[in-house]
């Protein structure tokens, strides 16, 4: 049996001349939480739709839970998904909406109440969907995705509209599902969220995969950044010049100079700044976070 939840090779989608996804190749190991990141329009949702059989790929192949994506009926009963936000019938209650989907998929409607409790909607299950807040709609979408007790859960921006408490709950829920063997494939524009929960990461840019691998490998492969602030703002340009003269890539961002280089070089940098008559108010070596790494790899900022 395959040990990958998702495996795609050269998966592509074109709309006329416009390329939405270009030769995407990646694997998502079973039982992991895989973050799927990319700027708006990079092809994340299109890729997810192809994996769910909603749109036909223009080229390439793929497998979900060991079955070809050409036959979604073979794997979809084991897959839960929420794509492009929660979509339900506004005039039906949350509970009745889930009952519709449970009946459709041939699942027991007994699960519905338990799922509503799991996502914190037990007391609003009988309210009409149209009266729900964005966060409640999102929770209902997650409950719907959990209906089949899935082996693979595919969520598109699941924390959209949730308050910090809700985000934390979703994070805990995804982690507990992964601990119980469910593979989770989750896209989000909140990179800090994915950094906290993902074991595995796939980065897309303009329809192309620019990174695929373990989150830990990605973070370790990145050079640390030394962030330096001077007492006087007009001295930042001088600091930038000192760093570049020493052969390090540096940028000015948020009132500080960000220098890529080993943490040990901070001492030398401080000394060089002092020699140039600059007093540093702060110098901090730190590993880049996912957001910085993302921008570094995609060159988006």
**Interface ranges with other proteins (CB under 8 A):** 49, 52-56, 72-73, 76, 79, 81, 83-85, 87-92, 96, 99-101, 103-106, 144, 147-148
Residue closer to other proteins, measured from CB, 72 or 224: 72
> Measured from the CB of residue 172, what is the shortest distance to other proteins in angstroms?
25
> Measured from the CB of residue 286, what is the shortest distance to other proteins in angstroms?
41
Residue closer to other proteins, measured from CB, 35 or 150: 150
Residue closer to other proteins, measured from CB, 20 or 259: 20
- Within 131-179, residue ranges assigned H as helices are 134-146, 164-179
Residue closer to other proteins, measured from CB, 101 or 272: 101
> Measured from the CB of residue 2, what is the shortest distance to other proteins in angstroms?
20
> Measured from the CB of residue 81, what is the shortest distance to other proteins in angstroms?
5
- Take residue 285 and report the two structure tokens written for it: 């070596």
CA-CA distance, 53 to 10, in Å (whole number)?
16
CA-CA distance, 299 to 301, in Å (whole number)?
6
> Measured from the CB of residue 92, what is the shortest distance to other proteins in angstroms?
6
81-106 per-residue burial string, b: 16 or more CB within 10 A, e: under 16? bbbeebebeeeebbbbbbeebbeeee
Q: To 10 degrees, what angle do helices 110-118 and 94-105 make?
A: 130
For residue 161, give the DSSP letter.
Answer: T
> Measured from the CB of residue 198, what is the shortest distance to other proteins in angstroms?
23
- Take residue 175 and report the two structure tokens written for it: 């982690």
CA-CA distance, 152 to 171, in Å (whole number)?
16
User: What residues have CB less than 8 Å from 296, skipping those under 6 apart?
Assistant: 222, 288
Residue closer to other proteins, measured from CB, 67 or 296: 67
Helix (H, G, I), strand (E, B) or coil at 72: helix
């Amino acid at each position: 049996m395959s040990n990958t939840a998702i495996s795609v090779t050269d998966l592509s989608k074109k709309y006329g001349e416009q390329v939405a996804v270009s030769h995407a190749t990646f694997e998502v190991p079973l039982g992991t939480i895989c973050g799927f990141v990319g700027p708006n329009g990079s092809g994340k949702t299109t890729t997810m739709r192809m994996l769910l059989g909603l749109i036909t790929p223009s080229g390439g192949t793929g497998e979900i839970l060991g079955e070809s994506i050409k036959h979604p009926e073979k794997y979809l009963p084991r897959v839960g998904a929420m794509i492009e936000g929660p979509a339900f019938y506004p005039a039906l209650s949350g509970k009745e909406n889930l009952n519709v989907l449970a009946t459709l998929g041939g699942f027991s409607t007994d699960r519905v109440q338990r799922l509503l409790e799991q996502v914190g909607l037990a007391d609003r299950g009988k309210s009409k969907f149209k009266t729900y807040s964005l966060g409640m709609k999102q929770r209902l979408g997650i409950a719907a995705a959990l209906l089949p007790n899935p082996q693979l859960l595919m969520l598109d921006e699941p924390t959209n509209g949730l308050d910090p408490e809700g985000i934390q709950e979703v994070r805990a829920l995804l982690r507990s599902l992964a601990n119980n063997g469910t593979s989770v494939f989750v896209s989000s524009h909140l990179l800090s969220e994915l950094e906290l929960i993902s074991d595995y990461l796939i980065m897309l840019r303009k329809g192309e995969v620019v990174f695929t691998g373990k989150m830990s490998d990605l973070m370790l492969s990145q050079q640390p950044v030394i962030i330096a602030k001077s007492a006087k703002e007009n001295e930042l340009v001088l600091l930038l010049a000192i760093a570049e003269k020493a052969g390090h890539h540096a940028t000015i961002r948020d009132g500080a100079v960000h220098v890529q280089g080993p943490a040990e070089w901070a001492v030398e940098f401080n000394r060089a700044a002092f020699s140039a008559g600059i007093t540093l108010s702060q110098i901090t070596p730190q590993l880049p976070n996912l957001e910085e790494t993302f921008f570094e790899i995609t060159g988006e900022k």
